[in-house]
Every structure is written in structure tokens, then in C-alpha cells.
Structure 1
Amino acid sequence: MSAPPDSAMGATGVRLTLRAPLDARVDASSLSPAALAGLRPAAVAALTLPWGAGIAPVGELFDVSASDGPGLVLSGDPRLDFVGAGLAEGEIIVEGPAGVCAGAGMSGGRLVIAGDAGDSLAAGMSGGRIEVAGRAGDGVGGARPGERQGMSGGTVAIAGSAGAGLGARLRGGLILVGGDVGPRAADGLVAGTLAVAGRLGPGAGRGMKRGTLILAAAADSLAPGFVDAGPQDFIMLQLLGRRVPELGALFGSRLTGRALRLVGNRLAGGEGEILVLQ
């Protein structure tokens, strides 16, 4: 049931329910808990969003009502782009899939996607947390258009698989993937951690400078330039499992502290490491 038209929704939250599946792409970057706080339903409905080649009022695309929590709840759609882009505080929950660039440029807050996410998830992210219940497309944690560096902070947890270019030019933060990952992960990685419970696709680590990959299984085919340093015991892996419970949940009993260590990418002068759990 929609909130009364004369009542503001700042004390609770805002729910935007799609009237119908989107027939054109929508830029949802302006929809945030902070931007909508205190607005009456009619005022929210009157806001406009880029839609296809034009614009559309929020009220033409969504039914506006109050939600139980203090954040923003959105119906999901593969054409709903830039959800949570630039988010600095608060929580956004997407009930279904999200389009491209979800969480791009986030510096804080929490974005939860109950379905799949499109390409460029968390591009340029510097803080906050993103959770994806399904799979993610290409370029997770990569650079935004016109920028040279990718994600620099925050946490991204993907329950399913991820596409090509995971963590390319990453310079901070943590990305966890429960499924398989496509080719060319950690391309140009500068700092940060990628943790993959599934299979890592071919060509990973090209141009890698520093940072860490933690893998549940050996990669199919790494980029040339890695040196096998042999199996080793890493107390820090067990400590990480305690300090970051998600790592323990991702790898389970595999996170014993014993891992095969690969160092590189030496062709790029890199000293990063790939740890294959034993």
C-alpha cells in the first residue's frame, strides 16, 4: 500500500516498485537514501531519471511507497543501471537483478543485489560494501571510463560467478567470488585481495604488481611471468580467516594456512602473490 501523499518518508525508507519491466535503460544513480530522505511520495514520484534517449518521472516507472527499513528498496531489472553509483552512506536493496555499473564509485554504505549484476560492478569503488546473490558480469572492481585505476577500497561479495577482467587495475579492497571467474583476472593489479572459491580463468595476473589472489584451486593458465615458490605455511591466512569471517565462510576447511605460493608478475617487475590453498 502506498504511503499517504501528504506524509514524508524520512523516518522510514522508500520503496520503488517497477510498474512494468523496463523497455529502455534507466540511469538510477540519483536514487539514494540520502537524496530521498524526508521527501514526500509525490515529490519522489516527480523526480526524473534518464530513460533511453530521454527522461521519465520516477512515478511513471515506479510505484512509490514507504519501506520498513531506513534505506531504499528497488525492484530489480537488467536495464536498471548505475544503482548505488556514488553511494556514500545508507543502504540500497535491489530485489532482483541490476544493470551495468552498480556501485560504481561507491565510497560508503551498503548495496545488496538479490539477483545478478551487469558489467562494471564496483568500478572505481573506494569504500562500502556490495553483496550480489547471483553472478556478476565483466570488469568487477575495474576502472571507470576515463580513469586509470580500479577499485581502491571496500568489500564486494559475489555468491555466484564473475566474468572477465575481475579486479583489473585493482589498488585496494577485497573481492570474494563463490563461483568461477572468467579470463584475465588481476590484470595490472596494484594492491588488494581477490579470493576465488571456484576456478580462475586463463590469462590471470598479466601486469600484476602487488596484491594477493587466494584460490581454492590451481588456475587453468596464468599469464607468463610467475615463479613457483613452492608450498608454504602462512599463519596470516588463519588470522585472516578469523579477522575476515567471509574468507572462512568462502573457503571453509581449505583455509588451513597451507598454500602453494606463486610470485609475480616478474615480467612486469611485480611482487604480488597467488596463494593456492592446499
Structure 2
Amino acid sequence: MTGLTFRKREEPAERLDLSTLTPSRLAGMAEREIVALPVGTSRMGLRVGDVFDVIMGDAATICFEGGSHRFDRIGEAMEAGEIVVEGDAGVRLGRMLAGGQISVSGSVGAHAGSAMSGGVIRISGDAGERLGGPLAGEMMGLKGGTITVGGDAGARAGDRMRRGVIFVKGAAGEDLASRMIAGTIVVGGMAAATPGRLMKRGTLFLCGGAERFAPTFVDNGPADLLILKIMADAFAKGEVGEVPFHGAPMRRLGGDTAVLGLGEVFLPL
């Protein structure tokens, strides 16, 4: 049996809250119940049937045929199953994701993977600001799981990150890993100004270098460590895939000494 499909009719006139369209919430629901679910965020009162043609199938796999930057909160608090977005997605993709996987063929808005604790998010295009970061007032961002981005990431990706892995194949915006608590971030391209600002612990692999660092980072010189090869091999065999470092010696920086100072940054020699 094929998955449950939502086929976009046309671009919606307002932002949509699609947080109710997850496998566990739709399991066992009839088509008439699904098309009646509210998704609008204004007084227009849009429902699923106003925006999508619904093709019934196994709700363990949900497909959005035709994405939009107005499709917000896809996969929010999902615990299991799979969501596939053919196109772009809006803000808060996979927020509070606990399990399962979300794949997006296009780009996504801000706060993708915010407060995520498990599962996998794969974004083929670009990610907006604060990838894996917390909302205002929250103390922790990414708490587990894996996020991969095929393009670039916006400012402050990994803000307050606690654990898990973020891999950005392209470039990263300013203040990557700001206030990072722990976890691992790999960036294939250039990292903009001051990555790792106020990071306490954690590991950054900036394979394309960085624009500049805060003066509170300490240059530890070349590091020829076996763990670099072990990590590269582990990534290649797991959800992250091949990474742009292969266990060769790298330059190591320690910091941020303005706070706890137990973080580490690896750069090409």
C-alpha cells in the first residue's frame, strides 16, 4: 500500500500550520475527517480539503506533492514514520522531532529541527536561520538526532545545541554554533563571521575554513588524531554519509575561553 499523499492544488493565500498532518495523528482517520482538519492561520479558516487533493494510503508515510515556503510546522513532534516534501517547506520543519525521518527536496525556513531530540531530517536545498536552534526563551536547541543540508545554512545554525549531528554541505551563516553546549557540526563550505561564539563544549569541523573567530579562541596547531578518521568512517556508514574530511591532520582551535572553553574547532591545514 502506498503512502498518504497531499497534492497541492495551488499556492495558498496564507501561511499554513501543518503540524496535525503527522503519521501518528492521521493513523486510522477516514478521508472525510482528514479533509476537514483546520490548517489555516487566519480568519479564512482554511481546511486540508481547501488546499490539497488527498490520496488515501498508509499514514506511516506521508507525501506532500508540491511544497511551499508557506507550509509551516511540517512534522512537528513526530515520533515515528516518514514525511516526504517534494518542494520547499516553511518554518519550524521537524520541530520537536523525536523519531522517524523527514526529507525535503527543496529549501526550508527558519528553526528547522528546533528542539529536536531524535530522528533524521534531510534537506536537499538551503536551510534558514537558527537551524536546530531554540525559539525565543528556550534554553536548548537540538537535543539529538541528525540533520543534513545539501545547500547552505543561515545564521546561528546549532545555536544552544545540546547533542546530535548537523552536516551542512555548503556554507554556513554568521555565528554558527553560537552558545553551543555539546554535539557535532560539520560544514563543507566557508563559515561566516565568528563561528562557535560562546560555545562551552562540542566539536566543529569547518572544512572550508572560517571568515574569522572571536579572539577568545586558542590556536592549538596541527592535530593528527586517530579519532578524526574514526569519526569520518562512522559518518560515512551512518545517516550523515560521506563528509569532506578523511582523517587527515587538521588545525585545531580550542574555545570559547570566554565561557567554559572545552569546545574544539577543526580547520584544514
User: TM-score, normalized by length of structure 2?
Assistant: 0.94
Match of 1:117 in 2: 108
Matched, 1:84 2:75: yes
Judging changes above 3 Å, is the alpha-carbon distance between structure 1 residues 225 and 53 closer, same or farther for their aligned structure 2 residues? farther
Whole-angstrom distance in 2 between the partners of 1:103 and 1:260:
34
Whole-angstrom distance in 2 between the partners of 1:52 and 1:165:
30
Give the 5 Å matches for 1:194-273.
Answer: 194-245=185-236, 249-251=242-244, 254-273=245-264
Deviations 1:223-278 (A, max 9, x none): 22100000011111111122221666131xx4133111000001113110001134
Match of 1:33 in 2: 23
Match of 1:45 in 2: 35
How many aligned positions are there?
Answer: 266
Shift of 1:190: 0.5
User: What is the aligned-residue RMSD (CA, Å)?
Assistant: 1.6
Report the secondary structure of 1:43's partner residue.
Answer: helix
Deviations 1:70-127 (A, max 9, x none): 4000131100000111111100001100001101111111010110000111111111
Judging changes above 3 Å, is the alpha-carbon distance between structure 1 residues 67 and 133 closer, same or farther for their aligned structure 2 residues? farther
Report the secondary structure of 1:242's partner residue.
Answer: helix
Report the secondary structure of 2:40's partner residue.
Answer: strand
Unaligned runs of 5+ in 1: 1-10
Contact 1:248 1:255 in 2 (8 A): no
Give the 5 Å matches for 1:161-176.
Answer: 161-176=152-167
Unaligned runs of 5+ in 2: none
Larger proportion of strand: 1
User: TM-score, normalized by length of structure 1?
Assistant: 0.91
Whole-angstrom distance in 2 between the partners of 1:116 and 1:12:
25
Match of 2:49 in 1: 59
Shift of 1:30: 0.8
Deviations 1:36-57 (A, max 9, x none): 1222222211222233345322
Which of structure 1's runs of 4+ aligned residues deviate more than 6 A?
none
Whole-angstrom distance in 2 between the partners of 1:272 and 1:228:
12
- In the alignment, which of 155, 159, 163 is matched to residue 150 of structure 2? 159
Contact 1:104 1:144 in 2 (8 A): no
Amino acid at match of 2:40: P
Match of 1:4 in 2: none
Select between 237-246 and 13-22 the one with higher mean Cα deviation: 237-246
Shift of 1:206: 1.3
Whole-angstrom distance in 1 between the partners of 2:11 and 2:241:
38
Contact 2:132 2:158 in 1 (8 A): yes
- In the alignment, which of 116, 119, 127 is matched to residue 136 of structure 1? 127
Contact 1:240 1:247 in 2 (8 A): no
Deviations 1:149-195 (A, max 9, x none): 11110000000001100111111110000101110111100000110
Give the 5 Å matches for 1:8-27.
Answer: 12-27=2-17
Whole-angstrom distance in 2 between the partners of 1:233 and 1:106:
36
Whole-angstrom distance in 2 between the partners of 1:180 and 1:52:
35
Shift of 1:67: 4.9
Contact 2:14 2:40 in 1 (8 A): no
Amino acid at match of 1:65: I
Contact 1:241 1:247 in 2 (8 A): no
Whole-angstrom distance in 2 between the partners of 1:227 and 1:133:
34
Contact 2:189 2:209 in 1 (8 A): no
Whole-angstrom distance in 2 between the partners of 1:269 and 1:125:
24
